[in-house]
Amino acid sequence: MPPTLPKKMKTANDLDGKKRRHASAKSVVNSFVVKHRPFSFLRIAAITGNTLTELVRLKVFYFLLIFALLLIANSLFMARLSFQQEFQVLKDVSLGAMSIFSSLLAIVATARLIPRDLEDRTIYSILAKPVPRHEYLMGKLAGVLLLLALSILAMSALFLVLLFVREHILVNETLRATASLRPEQIQEALHRLKASAFNANLFPGIVIIYLKAALLAALTLLISTFASSNIFTILVMVFVYFIGHLQATAREYWLQDHSGGWLVRAFLALVALAFPDLQLFNLVDDIVAGTAIPMTLFSQTAVLGCVYTSIYLFLAWVAFQGKEL
Amino acid sequence: MIRWAIIFSLLLVFGTLRLSIEAALTEQHRSAYFHQARLGLDLREQIGQLGFLAALSGFRSLVADVAFIQAHVAWERTEWGRVLLLFREATTLQPRSVLFWDMAAWHMAWNASVAASHDPFLTNNALRHKAQDEYVALGKDFLERGIKNNPDRPQLYESLARLYKEKLNNHAAAARLFARAAALPSAPERDKRFAAYELSYLPGHEREAYEALRRLYDRGEHERLPTLCTRLKYLEQKLAIPLDERAF
């Protein structure tokens, strides 16, 4: 027979254990209450990470394959033109494709975030936890911005590698063809070739492409907070994209031309005030043509892009805060 | 409903706040030679609705490239009228591309004008000459408009100077344009030399040309190129420069 403890003693131990457990549970609750902050980067980072994983699992990076094929096909076709023509077309096609792919990705990826979370009911389990709605939105947008950054980095790397390879091939061809010329003439030929190939202004141009995509992502998030489906959000954003490129024209007519009637002027004012000016973020067209972008101009455009993104995120929060889920 | 009214009002407030900032930034962009293209209804007729829509939506340079490639194909088929129209499209869409202006002018003033001089459909020499002159004028027009859009780049001044020299035999205009190109910060060294060469062909400007060539000659061995030496020697003889002051 195993020895048994007396009944009284057992009860006392049990009581002690209960007290200890209660005290530790209380301390856990207390520590949790103390540690919970109204704003936490860690919580945002968790949502960001999940959003990015979710988007990557959708195999969105397959578009990079199309981008690579487009570049290689373009490069092979352009080999029949002169080196200046070839580089100009290569840069135009690459940066144009980069701009359209990033804008499309920003709109399509963001449009499906909230509707999908509602459909899967993930949003209820997230918001049932002590996660404020602004953190949820910030995490979601940060996930898309991270995806856009990775995509643009990958496309830029592909583009720069191709540019470097073509430049290298053409430098060798030029050296062979100009072997009999004077050294200054060879140097000048090489200088012209290199100047038409790589241009340091391409980097600010790529950053502006990214900021434009970020702005579109934030605006898509705002639209998706009240949209009934992601198709509606995408359609609205396509219209916003086109109108946004004409906003500057509407603004100029509204501010400078006083010939139209009040109805026309009211409409132009509405377009100018409600839509973003996307034309300000179209600098690559002229950068490829050799126009240098001054640092102050680049900084001002970049700041404007960040302000747009922040304001649209804030408005998305205002819309989402009172939304019944 | 109230929430949407608040959001829309906030959007309009943000729009009002950024209005003047965006207008000022657009002006700064334009003064730095961005957004120079003027997309009007005449271009809409040329490039079609889809092309115009693409140009308005931020793919202006891509549409310009397509027009440029089509112009290249038209040139291979020697369809000069089509080459002209397509280059007008390309340069309107992408006015900051020196290459487009330069190629357009070269095709018109050199290729098309020479082709016109051998055109079997033109019945006599007078018509051929007229067609040739018209093509040269078209090339000159491309370069002049290109310079208006790109006053900060030397290449188009050089091309227009070459056109004046080779097609119009106008050495005064060529010298002036080479000198303007040489004054630009990104100009190659040869522009000063070329301006002096052109000056040396101008009657009445021999002394000025001699001084410019002598200055270049005195800069060292790298400037003593065959044409410079030939023109300097010719001017020394023509101006009867004292023997002890001569380079040759």
- Please report whether residue B247 resides in a domain: yes
> Do B96 and A289 lie within an 8 Å CB cutoff?
yes
Residue of A nearest to B37 (CA): A286
**Per the structure block, which two tokens stand in for A317?**
């929060």
> Do A304 and B96 lie within an 8 Å CB cutoff?
no
Residue of A nearest to B97 (CA): A289
> Do A289 and B62 lie within an 8 Å CB cutoff?
no
Q: What is the pLDDT of residues A4-45, one digit of tens each?
A: 444 444 454 555 666 666 666 555 555 555 566 777 888 999
**Smallest CA–CA separation between B198 and chain A, in Å?**
21
The percentage of residues in chain B with a pLDDT greater than 70, rounded to a whole number, is 98
Which residues from B are below 8 Å from A88, CB to CB?
65, 97, 99
* Structural domain for B234, as ranges: 169-248
Q: Are A129 and A43 in contact (CB under 8 A)?
A: no
Q: Which residues contact B21 (CB under 8 A, 6 or more apart)?
A: A304
Tell me which H or E stretch contains A207: helix A202-226
Q: What is the pLDDT of residues B109-133, one digit of tens each?
A: 999 999 998 888 888 888 999 999 9
**Smallest CA–CA separation between A11 and chain B, in Å?**
60
pTM: 0.81
Specify the number of domains making up chain B.
1
Which residues from B are below 8 Å from A246, CB to CB?
56
> Do B3 and A293 lie within an 8 Å CB cutoff?
no
- Please report whether residue B208 resides in a domain: yes
Q: Where are the domains of chain A?
A: 40-321
Measured on CA atoms in the order A64, A69, A72, A75, is the torsion positive or negative?
A: negative
- Please report whether residue B142 resides in a domain: no
Q: Are A319 and B3 in contact (CB under 8 A)?
A: yes
Residue B107 is given by DSSP the state: I
Q: Which residue has the tokens 């591309």?
A: B97
pLDDT band at A275 (very low <50, low <70, confident <90, very high): very high
> Euclidean distance between the first and final Cα of chain A, in Å?
62
> Do B15 and A272 lie within an 8 Å CB cutoff?
yes
pLDDT band at B244 (very low <50, low <70, confident <90, very high): confident
Q: Exposed, middle or buried, A92 (CB in 10 Å: 0-12/13-18/19+)?
A: buried
Q: Exposed, middle or buried, B33 (CB in 10 Å: 0-12/13-18/19+)?
A: buried
Q: What is the pLDDT of residues A110-166, one digit of tens each?
A: 998 998 888 888 888 888 888 889 999 999 999 999 999 999 999 999 899 988 888
